Structure 1
């Protein structure tokens, strides 16, 4: 057998090994690490998942949008608990997906479940316009990230007004990664920035620089601190994989794409506690 054929076979075997083990390796490093959300019975409760409409990473003109697992993980955490879930965006209509978050090896099980779910995909293609909605129709408002969110969540006056009114009604407000920007223009009941003096997290400046997206107009760590938030996060030698969830009253926020499971879990936990308090 010619040596070149041996080489080709060796390369194919190596690629096969990489393909088989890459997902587990990334999970061990911290990407979508295994996390079991306990069972909750929250039938009759409603959640709104808010994503970006922006689909271009300026000035490079690369595709961007919402990061898959940052909305699919909480979406199914809420669905699995028996909740009704709507999807919305500042302008309504189609929510773009940040590549390659829905491709191998970055996609997670909930991403694949979502892509095969006709009802969920219809919500993604035809998201509700935030200005057409009423905060009192929902029990939790969750804002997903993705690089596109840096261009429109904080800049949307409609979203700021919606979150301000939701907070005044005591709704649970959640976010992960760049989704925290949706909190930055909202006001608390005292008229001060909603996040002022409160513990909140989002993607860090270090993580943004690691991914080479400092070109984006709004950075959660900077904007949260400007608004007076007590910014919490975790750092490590594998910094992009570090994760943290902050809880401060009705604000439950996750650091990045690896935080969706715990953040959704803590939201469900708080909702269940509220229900028990009402029963008593």
Structure 2
């Protein structure tokens, strides 16, 4: 979450932090271990304002999605426990899509699109190119006990799932843009997904659409 947050912030955007229920967003301490810790993680640890947002996030159901240009669904295995089960998140993603908001996410984050619908009532991701963490990666990372696996769940509602794969690929990377949806296979796709999302906003501003 830290890399896209700072990408948006450093581009001059105002950034809110929200979650399905609001309040504390749990941070897996393993994600801050030196081997995988990023400079943005160090910046987060020293950033009282960002840490306060994470400690007291807004409830997604309370937000007016027309106030936003971008919604980024942060990944991490914790999202497997609430994103795909949250009706309020699905409803707000439906509203955001209808308002033309650019929607994106990486890893487990795209599970937040599961309950969203298009204008005709069909699943929002049906027939759309989507990437997220794969079933194979979930097994290799040892987190297959989670209740939702992104590849399986997104395919089940008609997504055209895309990914990169190798013999062993826990960190294999891929990202895809399909209209206003920008999704990435793993957390290391965060910078690319954030960049593509902001590029869509720039293109809209220059074309007036």
CA displacement at 1:236 relative to structure 2: 1.8
Are 2:140 and 2:168, in contact at CA under 8 Å, matched by a contact in 1? no
Describe the superposition over 1:45-67 as per-residue Cα deviations: whole angstroms up to 9, x where unpaired.
Answer: xxxxxxxxxxxxxxxxxxxxxxx
> Could you tell me which of 70, 82, 88 is aligned with 2:18?
88
Does 2:173 match 1:243?
yes
> Could you tell me which of 175, 192, 217 is aligned with 2:122?
192
After superposition, where does 1:4-153 map in structure 2 within 5 Å?
Answer: 71-153=1-83
Compute the TM-score of the two structures, normalised by the length of structure 1.
Answer: 0.73
> Could you tell me which of 64, 86, 100 is aligned with 1:156?
86
Instruction: Give the count of matched residue pairs.
Output: 209
Does 2:206 match 1:276?
yes
Separation in 1 of the partners of 2:39 and 2:19? 24
Secondary structure of 2:104's counterpart equals strand
Secondary structure of 2:71's counterpart equals strand
CA displacement at 1:99 relative to structure 2: 2.8
Separation in 1 of the partners of 2:151 and 2:7? 26
Are 1:180 and 1:220, in contact at CA under 8 Å, matched by a contact in 2? yes
Point out where structure 2 has 5 or more consecutive residues left out of the alignment: none
Point out where structure 1 has 5 or more consecutive residues left out of the alignment: 1-70
Q: CA RMSD in A?
A: 1.0
Secondary structure of 1:163's counterpart equals helix
Secondary structure of 1:84's counterpart equals coil
Secondary structure of 2:33's counterpart equals coil
Counterpart in the other structure of 1:24: none
Secondary structure of 2:30's counterpart equals coil
Counterpart in the other structure of 2:135: 205
Separation in 2 of the partners of 1:105 and 1:212? 17
Are 1:98 and 1:147, in contact at CA under 8 Å, matched by a contact in 2? no
Greater Rg, structure 1 or structure 2?
Answer: 1
Secondary structure of 1:206's counterpart equals helix
Counterpart in the other structure of 2:152: 222
Secondary structure of 2:115's counterpart equals coil
CA displacement at 1:278 relative to structure 2: 1.6
CA displacement at 1:238 relative to structure 2: 4.2
CA displacement at 1:237 relative to structure 2: 3.6
Separation in 2 of the partners of 1:136 and 1:73? 24
Are 1:143 and 1:179, in contact at CA under 8 Å, matched by a contact in 2? yes
Does 2:98 match 1:182?
no
Counterpart in the other structure of 1:3: none
Separation in 2 of the partners of 1:206 and 1:238? 9
